[in-house]
Chain A
Amino acid sequence: MNTIITTIIVVSCITAVLAALLTISSRTIGNYGEVVLTINDDKEYVVNGGSSLLDTLRSERIFIPSACGGKGSCGYCKVKVIEGGGPVLATEKPLLTKEELEDSVRLSCQCKVKQNIKISIPEELFNVREYSAVVERTEQLTPTIKLLRFNFGNEEISFKPGQYIQLKAPAYEGNDEEVYRAYSIASSVTDKHAVELLIGYTGGIATTYVHHHLKEGDDVHVNGPYGDFYYHEDDGPIILAGAGTGMAPIMSILQFMADNNINRKVLFFFGARTMKDLFLLDKIKGFEEKLNDFKFVPTLSREESEEWHGEKGRVPAAIDKYIEKGENYSAYLCGSPAMIDSIVQALLLKDIPSEKIYYDKF
């Protein structure tokens, strides 16, 4: 009995002493006092120094994209630090390119705020907010792709067609890590109280959460919108191309064009393997009626069936067939890096200038 009591007392005392020591030192040594954070030269915030730039910005309700939760492994949280960031840490170097290093770009989750600091971030990020939402509807579109509709209740989101949000996947059975993953918004920008996402099952942490754990009526947390992939005003014809869940931002763009009676000629190339991998066909049909010059070109790489009368093979080949050289096209692509690279090659051959090719690789 005595041993137990002494054990408890001794362990508690030692732990308490160590904890007290650490608390005192983090209050004194780790306390950098109040510092001024200046963003884009015009906004000033007085913040408590000592935490990472990412957390400091978050406490001011400014959200920088981050997928790894500040572990320094995703490289999403890049921010330009003009002054007061201290030297670049070894943990940041692997994720920064040479140009970025020269341009004083830093990983905001690694860079600590210890003195007055000046940073610059894209204005759009001030628009980013955190939302809690309810899963209003889920629909299995193909064996691997699900459509989810998140309702924000009274809150509103405003985004550009093509942008993405980040969904928080909390810890669940078999996963003790909390992660954020980016998904493009598939719904219309006029649908302000909800977003729809297309999420394909890959076996990863977030897609397992969505496909195996998330049910209608559940609460979810998202933040956004982010991204520089969105519809740009122009008058030439427009090429859309995607595969799988790359359909999402394209749907939002098409919806936007339909809502605003934009009369540009549109060609939508969609790559898939077989007829079973095609989805949302009714919606696309609807666009054929609403938009006055819209053509949907599904391109199947593995379809053997006689019933298929559409294009076969890969998207770049279809582009080669349908696109005339020398027209004033702009292009929006969303898909895997390999697919995008091959499509970009095909588009460049058609003399489409690279600054008019917008893409979102995932």
Chain B
Amino acid sequence: MIEVNPILIFFAAIFTSNMIFSNFLGMCSFIAVSKEIPTAIGLGISVTMVMTATTILNYMVYWTILVPFNLEYLMYIIFILVIAAFVQLLEMVLERYLPTLYYSLGIFLPLITVNCAILGVSLFMVTRSYDFMQTVGYSIGSGLGWALAITAMAGIRSKLNEKSIPEGLRGTPITLVITGIMALAFIGFSGMVQIQ
């Protein structure tokens, strides 16, 4: 286990080890849903919520069930199960009790089940053997980092709409190019803290 303050991990997860820019995880929805700022923010918030909750759940499942039975190798499958079930549950609860939130975020929830950034955070927390508080900091930070990345990208893309872009680069290609450039920019933060 590495001795890093959870708060430091929190910030590192946003800037130096951003899910998108340093791990390139969760790209699918990052590219598909980053056309407009409001939707990007919506998805960003949902991802943060789900990421935090599922990582904590997975932490408990991992340390209380998988480790005692020596079944660490099952973590992939179990983590996915937990994430899928949690998202379903969350969808039901939101739909029933917080309809307004559901109508703005609800459609993103199914998208999130298959977002690999969510699974990624759960797996990293294991491979980096974080303790509970570090896990909490890391998951919230990763979620916010992902939200930050997609919101920034949506901002850039909405500006890009008015520009004339060569035919073959429009849409996904230019988004990937921009992601690359943004990742380079984020490298500027790297080395400030080491969390892995």
Residues of A in contact with B (beta carbons under 8 Å apart)? 3, 6-7, 10-11, 14-15, 18-19, 21-22, 25-26, 29-30, 86-87, 89-91, 112
Chain B residues closer than 8 Å to A25, beta-carbon distance: 89, 92-93
User: Chain A nearest CB: distance from B66 CB in Å?
Assistant: 8
Of B70, B88, B107, the residue contacting A89 (CB under 8 A) is: B107
User: Chain B nearest CB: distance from A257 CB in Å?
Assistant: 49
B74 and A22 within 8 A (CB): no
Q: Given A29-B96, A90-B39, are A18 and B71 neighbors across the interface (CB < 8 Å)?
A: no
A30 and B85 within 8 A (CB): no
User: Chain B nearest CB: distance from A16 CB in Å?
Assistant: 11
A15 and B103 within 8 A (CB): no
Please provide the 10 A-B residue pairs with the shortest distance between their CB atoms, ordered closest to farther.
Answer: A18-B85, A29-B92, A30-B92, A29-B96, A87-B103, A90-B107, A6-B69, A91-B107, A25-B92, A10-B71
Chain B residues closer than 8 Å to A7, beta-carbon distance: 71, 74
Interface residues on B, range: 20 to 34
Number of A-B contacts (CB under 8 A): 53
B185 at the interface (CB under 8 A from A): no
20 A-B residue pairs with CB within 8 Å:
A3-B70, A3-B71, A6-B71, A10-B66, A10-B74, A11-B74, A11-B77, A14-B82, A18-B81, A21-B85, A22-B89, A25-B92, A29-B92, A29-B97, A30-B92, A30-B95, A86-B103, A89-B103, A90-B39, A90-B104
User: Chain B nearest CB: distance from A60 CB in Å?
Assistant: 23
* Residues of B contacting A: mostly: helix
Query: In the complex, A30 Cα to B103 Cα: how many Å?
Result: 16
Contact residues, B58-99 vs A (CB, 8 A): 61, 65-66, 69-71, 74, 77-78, 81-82, 85, 88-89, 92-93, 95-97, 99
* Residues of A contacting B: mostly: helix
Chain A residues closer than 8 Å to B89, beta-carbon distance: 21-22, 25
B69 and A10 within 8 A (CB): yes
Tell me which of A11, A87, A90, A91 has the highest count of chain B C-beta atoms within 10 A of its own C-beta. A90
Chain A residues closer than 8 Å to B71, beta-carbon distance: 3, 6-7, 10
Which residue of chain B has the shortest Cβ distance to A32 in the bound complex? B96
User: Chain A nearest CB: distance from B186 CB in Å?
Assistant: 30
Chain B residues closer than 8 Å to A86, beta-carbon distance: 99, 103
User: Chain A nearest CB: distance from B63 CB in Å?
Assistant: 14
Chain B residues closer than 8 Å to A22, beta-carbon distance: 85, 88-89
Chain A residues closer than 8 Å to B103, beta-carbon distance: 86-87, 89-90
Which residue of chain A has the shortest Cβ distance to B42 in the bound complex? A90
Query: In the complex, A30 Cα to B69 Cα: how many Å?
Result: 35
- Contact code string B25-44 (vs A, CB < 8 Å = 1, else 0): 00000000000000100000
Of A6, A14, A30, A87, the residue contacting B61 (CB under 8 A) is: A14
Which residue of chain A has the shortest Cβ distance to B78 in the bound complex? A14
Chain A residues closer than 8 Å to B99, beta-carbon distance: 86
User: Chain A nearest CB: distance from B36 CB in Å?
Assistant: 10
**A-B contact sample (11 more), CB < 8 A, given A22-B88, A25-B93, A91-B107:** A10-B69, A10-B71, A11-B77, A14-B82, A22-B89, A25-B89, A89-B103, A89-B107, A90-B39, A90-B107, A112-B95
Which residue of chain A has the shortest Cβ distance to B88 in the bound complex? A22
Chain A residues closer than 8 Å to B97, beta-carbon distance: 29
A26 and B92 within 8 A (CB): yes
Of A6, A29, A112, the residue contacting B93 (CB under 8 A) is: A29
Query: In the complex, A209 Cα to B30 Cα: how many Å?
Result: 35
Query: In the complex, A90 Cα to B104 Cα: how many Å?
Result: 8
User: Chain B nearest CB: distance from A36 CB in Å?
Assistant: 19
Query: In the complex, A234 Cα to B80 Cα: how many Å?
Result: 64
Q: Given A3-B70, A89-B103, are A14 and B92 neighbors across the interface (CB < 8 Å)?
A: no
Chain A residues closer than 8 Å to B93, beta-carbon distance: 25, 29
Chain A residues closer than 8 Å to B69, beta-carbon distance: 6, 10
Chain A residues closer than 8 Å to B104, beta-carbon distance: 90
Which residue of chain A has the shortest Cβ distance to B96 in the bound complex? A29
Which residue of chain B has the shortest Cβ distance to A30 in the bound complex? B92
Chain A residues closer than 8 Å to B88, beta-carbon distance: 22
Chain B residues closer than 8 Å to A18, beta-carbon distance: 81-82, 85
User: Chain A nearest CB: distance from B121 CB in Å?
Assistant: 19
User: Chain A nearest CB: distance from B31 CB in Å?
Assistant: 18
Chain A residues closer than 8 Å to B92, beta-carbon distance: 25-26, 29-30
Query: In the complex, A144 Cα to B96 Cα: how many Å?
Result: 51
Of A14, A21, A30, A91, the residue contacting B65 (CB under 8 A) is: A14
Which residue of chain A has the shortest Cβ distance to B84 in the bound complex? A18
Chain B residues closer than 8 Å to A10, beta-carbon distance: 65-66, 69, 71, 74
Query: In the complex, A294 Cα to B69 Cα: how many Å?
Result: 84
Query: In the complex, A3 Cα to B104 Cα: how many Å?
Result: 45
Query: In the complex, A14 Cα to B95 Cα: how many Å?
Result: 25
User: Chain B nearest CB: distance from A93 CB in Å?
Assistant: 10
Chain B residues closer than 8 Å to A11, beta-carbon distance: 74, 77-78
